[in-house]
């Protein structure tokens, strides 16, 4: 008998080696190389080719006819927003998130809304039996004869079922549980995940069927399996949220058919996930009035303005090196803004610990939140509360200047809708747009000026959501 050839494959990045190593040279992680049996090189390769030789000639891009891709509405507005307007037929979408975050619940609800509109949906569960899926569907109040459930992990059999049924949507829960018999490694390994995804991609593209893949995540929060998995699919959606909170955020980190900055916000309830129509009010509903270290920022998440509270706590340190901790904001950004406050404003923060948090569990990464962070830190350091009806937006430069931001009109309109009386914006953003009635807009050109405006006086009135 011929000796079987083996290789060692990293389960995080897909690096291959002929011998075992404790540390992967590709991703520098420890104990991630697992022994796998090399597949037969004579086995047919999977992909878009059907075995026949094709003679396709290149053509000028100007001669290619442009066609608009028809989209299938999920009838869930938050999901439609993240997908870019709906599901594109023939697309391959990867959905990741922590265990129990609500991935299967959301996809089961999508299956229900489509099946109720006479769209045939195939839900394939590799982790639960059909009876377990039925129990969850009954709890969510889901039941329709156009929704089909299959408990199967063999990709070849799944492909045959798809060819027979010809559904509009297929959901694979999850990609780590399915396998190909031609691959000798165990389900969930790098080889299996890569080849199974390639097989589903071929099915989606050749048959025009939208396929959703559920992916497990690692302890670091990234989708388990090789990084190439995210490059193969058309869209990557992350389901975020804390176990102790009921709110969930669906974020697109890759989307070939729409924006990658959109988020959808849901609330987990007993009957399933429910859309949050006004996320700003949700994020601000527990905000306390008259508390030092609090500032409200008008941030943009894709095309949607969201008002979020930023909280800071500055206290004298009892250690040699002061601590800098951040939740929902990049840690390095906090250090940079504190350095600007020390150098340009004269605040001696080098002997103080700093704790900065975005309330509500949302994560912010756009530059326009810099000024709100600076005001929040200054408010806690001086123990002087900001006005409860003030919203702040602006980017801070290293010389202490406040730089212009994009879509300032949308931010101000959202603040006015929630009952704010004043918005602090960069001086360069003044003019050229219509200020809504009932709100004051104040332009500032430096961090010093912004701190004097926000902490020097309190504007009249208070937002309607204040308790």
User: Going by DSSP bridges, is the β-strand pair 390-392/304-316 parallel, antiparallel, or unpaired?
Assistant: unpaired
Distance CA 240, CA 258 (A): 20
User: Going by DSSP bridges, is the β-strand pair 263-269/272-275 parallel, antiparallel, or unpaired?
Assistant: antiparallel
> Around Cβ 133, how many Cβ atoms within 10 Å?
22
26: CB partners within 8 A, 6+ apart:
10, 13, 14, 15
Q: How far is CA 374 from CA 145, 336, 355, in A?
A: 56, 10, 13
Whether 103 has a binding-site annotation, put simply, is: yes
Whether 97 has a binding-site annotation, put simply, is: yes
Whether 369 has a binding-site annotation, put simply, is: no
Contact 214, 101 (CB under 8 A): no
Whether 215 has a binding-site annotation, put simply, is: no
Question: For the residues of 246-287, what is the DSSP string, one character each?
Answer: SEEEEEEEEETTS-SS-EEEEEEETTEEEE-S-HHHHHHTTP
Phi then psi dihedrals of residue 339, to 5 deg = -65, -40
Whether 99 has a binding-site annotation, put simply, is: yes
> Around Cβ 319, how many Cβ atoms within 10 Å?
7
The most distant pair of C-alpha atoms in the chain lies apart, rounded to whole Å, by 87
Binding residue ranges = 97-104
Q: Which residues are annotated as a binding site for ATP?
A: 97-104
């Amino acid at each position: 008998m011929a000796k079987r050839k083996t290789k060692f494959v990293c389960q995080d990045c897909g690096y291959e080696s002929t011998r075992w190593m404790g540390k992967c040279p590709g991703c520098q992680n420890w104990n991630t190389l697992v022994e796998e049996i090399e597949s037969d090189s004579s086995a047919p390769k999977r992909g878009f080719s059907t075995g026949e030789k094709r003679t396709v000639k290149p053509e000028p891009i100007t001669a290619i006819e442009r066609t608009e891709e028809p989209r299938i509405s999920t009838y869930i507005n938050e999901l439609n927003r993240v997908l870019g307007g709906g599901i594109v037929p023939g697309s391959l979408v990867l959905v990741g998130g922590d265990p129990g975050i609500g991935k299967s619940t959301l996809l089961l609800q999508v299956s229900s809304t489509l099946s109720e509109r006479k769209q045939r949906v195939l839900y394939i569960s590799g982790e639960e039996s059909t009876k377990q899926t039925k129990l969850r569907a009954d709890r969510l109040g889901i039941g329709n004869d156009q929704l089909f459930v299959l408990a199967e992990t063999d990709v070849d059999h799944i492909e045959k079922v798809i060819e027979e049924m010809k559904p509009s949507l297929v959901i694979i829960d999850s990609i780590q549980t399915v396998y190909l018999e031609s691959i000798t490694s165990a389900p969930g390994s790098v080889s299996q995940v890569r080849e199974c995804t390639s097989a589903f991609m071929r099915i989606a593209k050749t048959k025009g069927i939208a396929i959703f893949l559920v992916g497990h995540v690692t302890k670091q929060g990234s989708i388990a399996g090789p990084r190439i998995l995210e490059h193969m699919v058309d869209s990557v959606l992350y389901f975020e949220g804390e176990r102790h909170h009921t709110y969930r955020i669906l974020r697109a980190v890759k989307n070939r058919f729409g924006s990658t900055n959109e988020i959808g916000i849901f609330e987990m309830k007993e009957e399933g996930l429910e859309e949050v129509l006004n996320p700003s009010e949700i994020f601000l509903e527990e905000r306390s009035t008259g508390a030092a270290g609090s500032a409200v920022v008008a941030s943009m998440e894709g095309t949607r303005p969201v008002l979020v509270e930023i909280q800071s706590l500055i206290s004298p340190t009892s250690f040699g090196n002061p601590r800098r901790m951040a939740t929902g904001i990049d840690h390095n950004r906090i250090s940079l803004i504190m350095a600007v406050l020390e150098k340009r404003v004269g605040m001696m923060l080098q002997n103080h610990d700093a704790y900065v948090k975005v309330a509500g569990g949302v994560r912010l990464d756009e530059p326009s939140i810099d000024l709100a962070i600076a005001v929040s830190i200054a408010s806690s350091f001086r123990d002087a509360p900001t006005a409860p009806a003030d919203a702040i937006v602006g980017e801070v430069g290293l010389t202490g200047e406040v730089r212009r931001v994009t879509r300032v009109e949308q931010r101000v309109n959202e603040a006015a809708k929630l009952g704010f009386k004043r918005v602090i914006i960069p001086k360069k953003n003044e003019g050229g747009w219509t200020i809504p009635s009932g709100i004051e807009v104040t332009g500032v050109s430096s961090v010093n000026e912004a701190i004097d405006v926000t902490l020097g006086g309190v504007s009249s009135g208070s937002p309607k959501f204040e308790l």
